[in-house]
Amino acid sequence: MLPVDPLMLAAFIPAALALNLTPGADMMFCLGQGLRGGPRVAMAANAGIALGVMVHVLIAALGLSALVIAYPALFDVIRWAGMAYLLALAGAALWGSGQAGAGGAPGAALPALRAFRDGLAVNLTNPKVALFVLAFVPQFVVVERGAVLAQFLILGAVLSLGGLLVNGAVGLSAGGVGRSLAASPGLRRLAAWLTAGIFTTLAIRLALMERS
């Protein structure tokens, strides 16, 4: 027997897809990484974000996300760490554009493994994701069916897969543009500034974030 109630799963899938389609920090991050490094880098960042979502789901299932609510200072620590990380990525985008050779491709200075790590780190240091998962996913968990952890993981996989598809489409589209910019040093620098601007905007968004 499937751990998740079929009716709950049928209700969860369109709700999760609607949330995935709503522009947010993850989508913007994949956009920036695609512009900076091309399709392969965008998909690596996307995979890191998807894994981050699953980590948040696991944490919520174990009840640890409640700590973020119980201890407001922890929310702020995570938030400021995320902001600092995004600003560091913005600086790296500008520095990389200045160091790249005239004929270098955007993806050459940004390995896919690093993009995966950055996507994972950015997602994990966004406390709003933890709070969202804690508020949204349990609504579709039927405790009476048992296997609560399995239910969390299945619903989380649906949410993560939807994000993987939606953010992947955005990242690949931006990645195609980023790859086309590789032939022009001037346009490559413009892409770097756009990427840095996206990361900086996300950092400001975290700085202005409220706990409520």
Q: Provide the pLDDT for residue 183.
A: 56
Percentage above 90 pLDDT, the chain: 29
pTM of the model: 0.74
Q: Provide the pLDDT for residue 99.
A: 46
> Could you give the CA distance from residue 204 to residue 33 in angstroms, rounded to a whole number?
18
Handedness of CA 84, 85, 87, 88 (dihedral sign): positive
Measure CA of the first residue to CA of the last residue in the chain; give whole Å: 38
Handedness of CA 205, 86, 94, 50 (dihedral sign): negative
Lowest mean pLDDT among 2-6, 53-57, 130-134: 130-134
Q: How many CB atoms lie within 10 A of CB 10?
A: 10
Tokens of 36: 């900076």
Q: Provide the pLDDT for residue 104.
A: 41
Contacts of 65 (CB under 8 A, 6+ apart): 56, 59, 130, 131, 133, 134
**What Cα–Cα distance (Å) separates residue 82 from each residue in 79, 97, 109, 181, 200?**
5, 23, 23, 29, 11
> Could you give the CA distance from residue 49 to residue 81 in angstroms, rounded to a whole number?
17
